[in-house]
Amino acid sequence: QVQLVESGGGLVQAGGSLRLSCAASEHTFNNYAMGWFRQAPGKEREFVAAISWGGRSTNYQDSVKGRFTISRDNAKNTLWLQMNRLRPEDTAVYYCVKYNSPLPRAVPGEWGQGTQVTVSS
């Protein structure tokens, strides 16, 4: 079973930046699409971004387009989420996910434990 471990969360002021990382324990990391979800206090977990197995195709929730960038390095089994111009509404627990396909699907197959991102106003 793949293990996904997120890091890089923390506290930042509005307008600032954070970069989240996700390390995967699988040698076949490059076979799967990867992504990020988040869950804000009192809200349902929602999709943030996804990236295809080769890194050429990406998809973003409308609210983060132009501010967040998802990327991956298959040689390092690592996924990133660069978050710029952060807003208080970005405050959430962010989860790294792996899909059971080279392309993103509606429901991921594996989830990390999450990392907290808090944006102050």
Using one digit for the tens of pLDDT, what is the confidence trace for 31-89?
899 999 999 999 999 999 999 999 999 999 999 999 999 999 988 889 999 999 999 99
When pLDDT is averaged across residues 16-22 and rounded to a whole number, the result is 98
**Mean of pLDDT values over 19-31:** 82
Mean pLDDT of 21-32: 80
Q: Is a pLDDT exceeding 80 seen at residue 1? A: no
Nearest to 5 by CA among 20, 18, 24: 24
